[in-house]
Amino acid sequence: MEQKTPFKELTFSQKIQYIWDYYKLPIFLVIIGIIAVTAFIRGRLAQKNTVLSVLCVNVENSTTEDNGADIFNDFLTDNGYDLSKDEIALNKNIYVDVDKNGLDYQNMAALTAYFASNEYDICFMDDKTFDYYAKNVCFEDISKYLDKTILEKYKDRLVYVTIDGKEYPCGIRLSADDNEFVKASGLYSSCTVGVCCDSSHDAMVKKLCGYILQ
């Protein structure tokens, strides 16, 4: 019967081979664990503070090269935020067709869930989709977030909705022809902007509305 060489008498390469042969599964699991923990830590360190969340529905122009949130960079820096730590989260990947009479159920349900969860602060939509969701109590009275100068400037573009017998302005029609923000974003030729119900960032929403509508 062949007698095994004691471990301490093996050469360095033989010791490595021995350890690998007998312990490769535990070693593999440990390596996977280290990679997972490292990825988690890096993700946490890279995670930015979300100042506001903006939803863009049915954008006309969208690319996958970036998330487009850099259109808010000037606003953030003007308000003292650090772009390496803070961001405005932008979701421009939702498309719904309100003309399908319920056939676009999956996308419409997803959008309704977004509104119900109060995840977003400000929303841009094409006019028809905005009007549809405005009737479902998805938007605040936008006049609460605008100063008198801006209200006067956009008085002919206010979108009104009547809920429980009370009429109030819930959105503003915008065009890339005369609104610098919409033009710079490149997302729409025209759209409607509104403040989502139950936003918990009133002060910053007011500032961003002023920035968008200046």
Question: Which CATH number characterizes residue 96's domain?
Answer: 3.40.190.10
pLDDT, tens only, 13-38: 665 566 667 666 766 676 677 566 55
Which has more confidence, 146 or 11?
146
Distance from first CA to last CA of the chain, Å, rounded? 90
Q: Is residue 172 part of a domain?
A: yes
Are 195 and 96 in the same domain? yes
Q: Is residue 56 part of a domain?
A: yes
Question: Cα dihedral sign for 204, 207, 211, 213?
Answer: positive
Are 38 and 126 in the same domain? no
Are 80 and 40 in the same domain? no
Q: Is residue 3 part of a domain?
A: no
Q: Is residue 1 part of a domain?
A: no
Domain span at 22: 8-45
Residues 6+ apart with CB under 8 A from 70: none
In this prediction, residue 173 carries a pLDDT of: 97
Total count of domains within the chain:
2
Residues 6+ apart with CB under 8 A from 102: 108
Which has more confidence, 199 or 37?
199
- The pTM of this model reads 0.74
